[in-house]
């Protein structure tokens, strides 16, 4: 009967929107709007959050657990196309109006590129330059400050994993992928690099990063996770995840462990299907959960629930909507006290229910923050309707909103770095050490230049920017680079196949997962796991014989050693 009642609630919420109630999801004024003084907030973040949550209307409490995306590169000044997108999504023109109308607790900045396995649910982009992002986040915070919950800063998040999932690309220090850090094998380097990343995101006004990925890769090498993972060794991944959490949060940004309970042991893609995790419960405990435990131990403030069918615990139910997974395992077994955030609610497994019903199910399962709801008015009104009928208890909603507000007050304690820290020389130096330590040689004699005489750089799929970085870096080492006729250094990366390899290349370099190297015929095989500028500088130094290839592949590659240099 619960499912029937939730479906009826979803239909009721839809009728509210059609009838025009969705045009104003706040039928009664908040305490602050009615002239009641904002409560005095004292004590630590948790105490302030509890006091503020107790003063909020139902409408404001619902708004605090929602974190949609919006169209537009500014909070208040958007293009006609962006305004149309916002009207379709939420019935408003601008992000600032969306915040005001739905009393939002957070907003995610989105973007996409060709080399991005998460692009399927990124329907717009509002990330351009560091200056634009800072202006956008300032405008969003100005809008949120006017809300009854405005004593706590808004949560502004993004997926800045680095590697193939990087939202802010221009002007920031580009970290290599998670797999590159796994190849470097030094959690201290990981922590230092992520501290730089955290400081730069904080300077831009982003206070939540949906990273690091805590998924352990299985033998299938999950294509949607791939180089987003630190590797296939659970203990080593755990140490890397903990280092990334410590660094990111030391920089002033809340870290998010994802995708609970682990997306690495499935080849399915949760953007368009419900992947099955077929491990036994003992297998989950041994292989998948330890990185989440390590990240929680390091103080991670958020955990993202995955759209994953965990057969050993709650078969058929996506973990995002599973009380057994989120409340019994994550809260009970792992002892997590922070904010549980859903993966995108506009992804296929979450769309099996109407938006209102999906929102209610997600909160009742144990999520505190709903990311990218498929239809914001329906999600908002569905939660309100469920609250009024008892399908969603007031205590559960207050608990979720209080956790969100506690996180906000915790983040408010951190000093905001100056914009001058973004892309600074110190940050470049810290990240360069990790990029250099990651370069791995899987075939060929070690020591000295790996190619002699003129060289030509080629790349599958063009990759003009990355090729240019490598050419510049090679020339800086004194190497002669020609347009054609030299020994070929061939680059392959995300999405490339066997047909993208170049026969007869002197060197083949994998800039994403190294699996493709198993089919390359080059006498020298290298992996950088990343196509960042600093990774290309590190690669050039190895090719020129000016630096060793000290990395070790964090995943097994058919027919090849983890490293051909140094065991």
Task: For residue 429, count other CB atoms closer than 10 A to its CB.
Answer: 13
- State residue 15's pLDDT score: 45
Q: Exactly one of 343, 374, 496, 512 is catalytic; name it.
A: 343
Higher pLDDT, 541 or 2: 541
By the 8 A CB rule, do 419 and 203 touch?
Answer: yes
pLDDT at 238 over 70: yes
Q: Which two tokens stand for residue 282?
A: 């003992």
557 lies in a domain?
A: no
Structure tokens at 215: 């998924």
Does the annotation mark 426 as catalytic?
no
Whether 60 maps to a domain, the answer reads yes
Q: Are residues 411 and 448 in the same domain?
A: no
d(CA 161, CA 111): 13
Residue 350: pLDDT band (50, 70, 90) is confident
* Residue 251 token pair: 């920089």
CATH code of the domain in which 481 resides: 3.40.50
Query: What gap in Å lies between CA 355 and CA 360, rounded to an integer?
Result: 9
Verify that 450 and 407 share a domain, yes or no.
Answer: no
Q: Are residues 458 and 370 in the same domain?
A: no
Do residues 349 and 396 both lie within one domain?
Answer: yes
Q: At what angle do helices 394-412 and 355-365 cross, to 10 degrees?
A: 80
Q: Is the pLDDT of residue 271 over 70?
A: no
∠ CA 251-436-228, rounded to 5°: 60
- Read out DSSP for 193-255? HHHHHHHHHHHTT--EE---B-PPP-TT--TTTGGGS--S-HHHHHHHHHHHHHHHHHTT-EE
- Split into its structural domains, the chain has a count of 2
As a whole number of angstroms, the distance between CA 280 and CA 271 comes to 24
Give backbone dihedrals phi and psi of 449, rounded to 5 degrees, phi first.
-60, 140
pLDDT per position as a tens digit, 210-231 = 999 999 998 766 677 999 999 9
Task: Please report how the helices 187-203 and 234-250 are oriented relative to each other, as an axis angle in degrees rounded to 10.
Answer: 30
The pLDDT-based confidence of 270 (bands split at 50, 70, 90) is low
Q: How far is CA 155 from CA 38, 191, 437, 465, in A?
A: 20, 23, 34, 33
Task: Identify whether residues 402 and 452 lie together within a single domain.
Answer: no
Q: Has residue 429 been placed in a domain?
A: no
Q: Are 454 and 480 in contact (CB under 8 A)?
A: yes
Higher pLDDT, 489 or 42: 489
> Does residue 212 have a cis bond before it (omega within 30 degrees)?
yes
- pLDDT of 166 higher than 50: yes
Q: Which of 259, 263, 265, 271 is catalytic?
A: 271
Q: Is residue 155, in this structure, part of any structural domain at all?
A: yes
CA distance 512 to 562: 15
Provide the pairing of β-strand 309-310 with 276-277.
parallel
304-340 pLDDT, tens digit each = 999 999 999 999 999 999 999 999 999 999 999 999 9
Provide the whole-model pTM. Answer: 0.91
Domain enclosing residue 417, as ranges: 2-421
Per the domain annotation, does 158 fall within a domain? Answer: yes
Same domain as 450, residue 417: no
Distance of CA 373 to the CA centre of its chain: 16
Active site residue 309: no
Q: Given this model, what pLDDT does residue 160 score?
A: 95
In a domain, 549, yes or no: no
């Amino acid at each position: 009967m619960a499912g029937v009642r939730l479906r009826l609630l979803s239909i009721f919420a839809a009728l509210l929107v059609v009838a025009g109630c969705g045009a104003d999801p706040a039928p009664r004024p908040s305490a602050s709007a009615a002239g009641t003084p904002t409560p005095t907030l004292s004590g630590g973040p948790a105490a302030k959050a509890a006091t503020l949550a107790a003063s909020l209307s139902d409408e404001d409490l619902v708004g605090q657990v929602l974190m949609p995306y919006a169209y537009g590169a500014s909070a208040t000044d958007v293009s006609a196309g962006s305004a149309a997108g916002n009207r379709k999504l939420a019935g408003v023109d601008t992000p600032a109006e969306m915040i005001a109308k739905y009393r939002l607790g957070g907003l995610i900045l989105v973007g996409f590129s060709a080399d991005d396995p998460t692009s399927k649910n990124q329907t717009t982009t509002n990330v351009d330059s560091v200056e634009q992002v800072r202006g956008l986040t300032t405008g969003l915070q100005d809008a949120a400050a006017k809300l009854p919950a405005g004593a706590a800063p808004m949560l502004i998040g993004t997926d800045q994993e680095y590697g193939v999932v990087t939202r802010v690309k221009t002007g920031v220090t580009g970290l290599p992928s998670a797999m590159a850090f796994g190849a470097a094998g030094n959690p201290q380097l990981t922590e230092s690099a992520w501290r730089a990343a955290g400081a730069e995101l904080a300077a831009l006004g982003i206070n939540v990063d949906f990273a690091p990925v805590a998924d352990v890769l299985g033998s299938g090498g999950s294509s949607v996770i791939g180089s987003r993972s630190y590797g296939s060794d659970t203990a080593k991944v755990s140490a890397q995840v903990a280092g990334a959490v410590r660094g990111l949060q030391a920089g002033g940004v809340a870290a998010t462990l994802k995708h609970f309970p682990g997306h690495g042991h499935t080849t399915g893609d949760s953007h368009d299907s419900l992947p099955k995790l077929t491990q036994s419960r003992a297998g989950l405990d041994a292989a998948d959960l330890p990185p989440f435990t390590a990240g929680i131990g390091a103080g991670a403030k958020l955990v993202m629930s995955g759209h994953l069918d965990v057969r050993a615990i709650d078969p058929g139910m996506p973990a995002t909507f599973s009380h057994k997974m989120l409340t019994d395992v994550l809260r009970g077994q792992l002892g997590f006290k922070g904010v549980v955030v859903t993966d995108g609610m506009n992804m296929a497994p979450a769309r099996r229910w109407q938006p209102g019903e999906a929102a209610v199910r997600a909160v009742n399962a144990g999520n505190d923050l709903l990311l990218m709801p498929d239809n914001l008015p329906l999600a908002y009104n569905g939660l309100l309707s469920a609250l009024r009928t008892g399908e969603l208890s007031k205590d559960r909603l207050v608990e979720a909103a209080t956790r969100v507000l506690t996180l906000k007050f915790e983040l408010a304690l951190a000093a905001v770095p100056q914009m001058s820290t973004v892309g600074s020389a110190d940050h470049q130096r810290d990240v360069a050490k990790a990029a250099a330590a990651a370069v791995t040689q899987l075939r060929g004699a070690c020591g000295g230049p790996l190619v002699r005489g003129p060289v030509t750089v080629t790349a599958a799929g063009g990759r003009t920017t990355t090729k240019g970085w490598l050419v510049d870096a090679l020339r800086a080492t004194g190497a002669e680079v020609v347009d054609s006729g030299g020994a070929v250094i061939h680059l392959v990366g995300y999405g490339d196949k066997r047909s993208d390899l170049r026969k007869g290349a002197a060197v083949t370099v994998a800039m994403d997962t190294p699996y493709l190297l198993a089919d390359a015929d080059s006498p020298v095989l290298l992996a950088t796991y990343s196509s960042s500028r600093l990774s290309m500088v590190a690669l050039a130094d190895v090719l020129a014989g000016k630096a060793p290839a000290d990395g070790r592949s964090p995943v097994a590659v058919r027919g090849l050693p983890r490293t051909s240099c140094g065991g």
